[in-house]
Amino acid sequence: MPSRREVLALSAALSLVPLARLGAATQVVGVYRRGVGEITVTALLDGVLGLHPDQLLSGSDPETNARLLRAAFVAGPAIDTSINPYVIETAGRTLVVDGGAAGAFGPTAGNLPAALAAAGVAPEAVDTLVCSHLHPDHVGAFTTADGAAAFPNAELRLHPAEHGFWTDPANFAGADDQTLAFAQMARAAVAPYADRLHLTEDGGELAPGVSLVHLPGHTPGHSGVMVSSAGQELLLWADIVHIGPIQFARPAVTIAFDVDQPLAAATRARVLDRVATDRVEIAGAHIDFPSFGHVEAVGTGYRFVPSRWDHQL
């Protein structure tokens, strides 16, 4: 269990996050479908967060950050980072993985309801809501403005360590106002689903061909979702990587949002090795939309190779 100091460090770091600027015009609603065997996975663009590597990353330095951003053709020093929830459709089931930021981080995010509508997915049709972890940019659209369940017919699935951490007041005794606000948002996101909350352990089935994968470190119960069908696999790995141009190349680099930074780095190293070795396709909550791709080992690090556009759906 992370210490209060680690939780406070997370809170302090969040206050450093700059918001990305809105331009004079915005892009179309982000919706992209991909087939995984007989299962359809749809990436939805909730919006972007502006992240500043020099303020948020540990284990790297401004010169290295600038070099890696430049190599990725990012002007820097800040980088706009996508927020990507997903829809999974399998065997007559409809699952939503994460809920975006809603209004928690200003006007550059909160587009999940519009993206769901563009994808033709009504909230009433969703039977399972999967939460990778209870940070605000992942649970914003779980509830309506008046605190009701935004997905009225859905059960909520998350790892028991995640639920236990955020709902135990002892973990936040004496915490500052911002940390308490984060815990309050986490509890508020879960509350309207209390009578249909199903805590799911590592490997637990969420639907046919879909299972939870515990990936701890970023938060205690941080989890991904493995989609498997007809010999194909896709790992929705949530927040394994936040700033791709730097963390793929240097996997030991952690971000201040990681509640347990050494464990987060170890989990990232393990996951990167597995998906690179086994050639498993991945998608991430903070990889540039639509986020699907593969990971290739390069020297002491890795590189992300975006998947080719799927024209078959």
What is the secondary structure of 60-127 as a DSSP string?
Answer: --HHHHHHHHHHTT---SSEEEEE--EEEEETTEEEEE----TTTT-TTS--HHHHHHHTT--GGG--
Neighbour count for residue 177 (Cβ, 10 Å): 8
Which CATH number describes the domain made up of 4-20+29-306? 3.60.15.10
Cα–Cα distance measured from residue 61 to residue 77, given in angstroms and rounded to the nearest whole number: 12
Determine contact, residues 295/272, Cβ cutoff 8 Å: yes
pTM: 0.93
Compute the distance between CA of residue 131 and CA of residue 109 in angstroms, rounded to an integer: 18
Task: Determine how many CB atoms are found less than 10 A away from the CB of residue 192.
Answer: 20
What is the arrangement of strands in the sheet containing 31-36, beginning at the earlier edge strand? 31-36, 39-44, 86-90, 93-97, 128-130, 155-158, 197-199
Tokens of 304: 């992300």
Please give the chain's pLDDT, 313 residues, in tens: 445 444 444 444 444 444 444 455 577 899 999 999 999 999 999 999 999 999 999 999 999 999 999 999 999 899 999 999 999 999 999 999 999 999 888 899 999 999 999 999 999 999 999 999 999 999 999 999 999 999 999 999 999 999 999 999 999 888 888 788 889 999 999 999 999 999 999 999 999 999 999 999 999 999 999 999 999 999 999 999 999 999 999 999 999 999 999 999 999 999 999 999 999 999 999 999 999 999 999 999 999 999 998 877 6
Q: Percentage helix, strand, coil, to 5, in the chain?
A: 30, 25, 45
Secondary structure class of 236 (helix, strand, coil): strand
Alpha carbons 242 and 284: distance in angstroms, whole number:
9
Q: Which of 19, 153, 49 is nearest to 96 (CA)?
A: 153
pLDDT given for residue 310 in this prediction:
81
Q: Which residue has the tokens 């190349």?
A: 249
CA 48 – CA 81 distance, rounded (Å): 5
Q: By three-state DSSP, how is residue 240 classified?
A: coil
CA-based R_g, the chain, Å: 18
Residues in the chain: 313
